[in-house]
């Protein structure tokens, strides 16, 4: 969600900040947990180096032991690099270096002491468990496949091969001790990771739930605010229409009557004056027509006085293009619903008049089905690409009006198939 879409102190901006803060908090917690785990894993791996050197000094002076010690030390260094990447916030790279160091250490251990094979499959699966929280889904599949491959290989290596002769030189209790120490450590590490993953998921769900509730609350508040604004606008439209009808319109009527009386009072032979009076009366009548058209555009008297059915029939009769209307008596609805449907239909008809062409035919349908008020405005004009035209101007007004009364609006069009505007608004069931 783009933070710049909302004013700095707007309710929606606050909700966006809450979502962002929750995500950043979760990312910081993940970074700290990953760093801690990698440091512990690196320390455990580094602790194996003096063990191998001790075996080389005291029990078996085999050159391969020094090589194994070097490899294990290198694995610990790789894990230290992974810890550094985790501290820097490069979690995905940190998981990669951790996996590399972990598998290097496992390979060295399997070569040195294959008889302690129960340790290796558990250790080999650690990168997959870690990666589950830090990498993409496609990357996790790779980590899982690699972990399973390493675990299977080291298990088979321990069960069916005998690469070194260290088992002959080192007492059997040593390997038993290694298993007794490292198996609980490895299983404990997996349990720790599982607990951390659960805590992170729980935190994420809680944070996202709180953020969702906040966004939903703000969205409902914005919706209610927009509905109140549209309703207030319509009330103001009705007030202006009444003022024009009861005030200015009556002045024009009185002026016309006064001019008629003046004409009757003119003496015989004042034909020029009578002609001027007639022209003035014609001007007054033209002004009255313009005023009626203006008041109808602001808020049609027919809508407020007789309802939606009469208002839609009125505009259908006055429409210049060929119009076929199928209008049933929908009865009276709430003023905001009647206004929303009327002005949406008016906008659709005006668009058809402008863009469908003079020879286009327009079909108007208005019906009330149980608890739904539905309308359709369809023309057989050239049509247009709906996806290529952004919602703006009249189209945005139609969507806003339908949304404000919990209605829906769909616009279907295409080259050569005309344009169809469909709307549905929930209304109370008829008694």
User: Among candidates 318, 265, 260, which has minimal Cα distance to 284?
Assistant: 260
pLDDT of residue 4: 47
Could you tell me the two tokens for 172? 């059997």
185, burial (CB in 10 Å: exposed 0-12, middle 13-18, buried 19+): middle
Q: What confidence tier does 3 reach under pLDDT thresholds 50, 70, 90?
A: very low
Average pLDDT over residues 396-424: 86
The answer to whether the CB of 29 falls within 8 A of the CB of 200 is yes
pLDDT of residue 365: 92
Q: What confidence tier does 45 reach under pLDDT thresholds 50, 70, 90?
A: confident
Q: What confidence tier does 423 reach under pLDDT thresholds 50, 70, 90?
A: very high
Tell me the per-residue pLDDT of 289-333, one tens digit each, with 9 for 90 and over: 777 777 666 777 788 888 888 888 888 877 756 888 888 888 888
The answer to whether the CB of 427 falls within 8 A of the CB of 332 is no
User: Among candidates 126, 120, 109, 102, which has minimal Cα distance to 51?
Assistant: 109
State residue 405 phi and psi, 5-degree precision. -110, 25
pLDDT of residue 5: 45
Average pLDDT over residues 156-160: 73
pLDDT of residue 6: 46
Could you tell me the two tokens for 134? 């830090």
pLDDT of residue 239: 73
Q: What is the pTM of this model?
A: 0.49
The answer to whether the CB of 57 falls within 8 A of the CB of 220 is no
Tell me the per-residue pLDDT of 68-80, one tens digit each, with 9 for 90 and over: 888 889 988 998 9
The answer to whether the CB of 326 falls within 8 A of the CB of 364 is yes
Could you tell me the two tokens for 177? 């001790």
Q: What confidence tier does 2 reach under pLDDT thresholds 50, 70, 90?
A: very low
Tell me the per-residue pLDDT of 333-355, one tens digit each, with 9 for 90 and over: 888 888 889 889 888 888 888 88
């Amino acid at each position: 969600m783009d933070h710049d879409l909302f004013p700095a102190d707007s309710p929606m901006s606050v909700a966006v900040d809450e979502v962002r803060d929750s995500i950043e908090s979760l990312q910081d917690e993940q970074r700290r947990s990953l760093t801690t785990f990698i440091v512990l894993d690196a320390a455990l791996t580094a602790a194996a180096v003096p063990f191998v050197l001790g075996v080389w000094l005291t029990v078996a002076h085999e050159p391969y032991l020094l090589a194994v010690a070097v490899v294990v030390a290198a694995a610990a260094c790789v894990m230290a690099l992974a810890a550094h990447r985790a501290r820097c916030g490069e979690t995905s790279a940190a998981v990669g270096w951790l996996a590399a160091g972990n598998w290097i250490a496992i390979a060295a251990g399997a070569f040195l002491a294959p008889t302690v094979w129960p340790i290796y499959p558990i250790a080999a699966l650690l990168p997959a468990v870690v990666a589950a929280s830090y990498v993409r889904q496609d990357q996790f599949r790779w980590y899982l496949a690699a972990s399973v491959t390493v675990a299977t290989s080291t298990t088979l290596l321990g069960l069916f091969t005998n690469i070194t002769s260290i088992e002959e030189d080192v007492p059997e209790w040593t390997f038993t001790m290694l298993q007794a120490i490292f198996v609980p450590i490895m299983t404990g590490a997996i349990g720790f990771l599982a607990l951390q993953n659960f805590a992170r998921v729980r935190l994420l769900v809680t944070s996202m739930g709180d953020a969702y509730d906040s966004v939903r609350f703000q969205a409902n508040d914005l919706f209610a605010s927009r509905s109140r604004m549209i309703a207030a606008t319509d009330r103001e439209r009705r007030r202006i229409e009444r003022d024009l009808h009861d005030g200015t319109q009556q002045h024009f009527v009185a002026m016309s009557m006064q001019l008629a009386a003046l004409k009757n009072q003119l003496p015989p032979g004042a034909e020029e004056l009578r002609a001027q009076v007639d022209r003035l009366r014609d001007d007054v009548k033209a002004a009255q027509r313009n005023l009626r058209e203006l008041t109808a555009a602001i808020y049609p008297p027919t809508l407020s006085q007789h309802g939606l059915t009469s208002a839609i029939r009125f505009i259908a009769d006055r429409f210049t293009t060929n119009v076929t209307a199928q209008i049933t008596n929908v009865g009276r609805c709430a003023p905001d619903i009647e206004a929303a449907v009327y002005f949406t239909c008016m906008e659709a008809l005006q668009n058809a008049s402008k863009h469908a062409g003079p020879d286009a035919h327009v079909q108007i349908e208005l019906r009330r089905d149980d608890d739904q008020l539905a309308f359709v405005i369809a023309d057989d004009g050239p049509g247009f690409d709906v996806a290529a035209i952004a919602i703006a101007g009249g189209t945005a007004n139609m969507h806003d009006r339908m949304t404000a009364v919990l209605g829906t609006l769909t616009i279907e069009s295409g080259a050569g198939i005309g344009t169809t505007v469909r709307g549905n608004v929930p209304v109370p069931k008829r008694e």
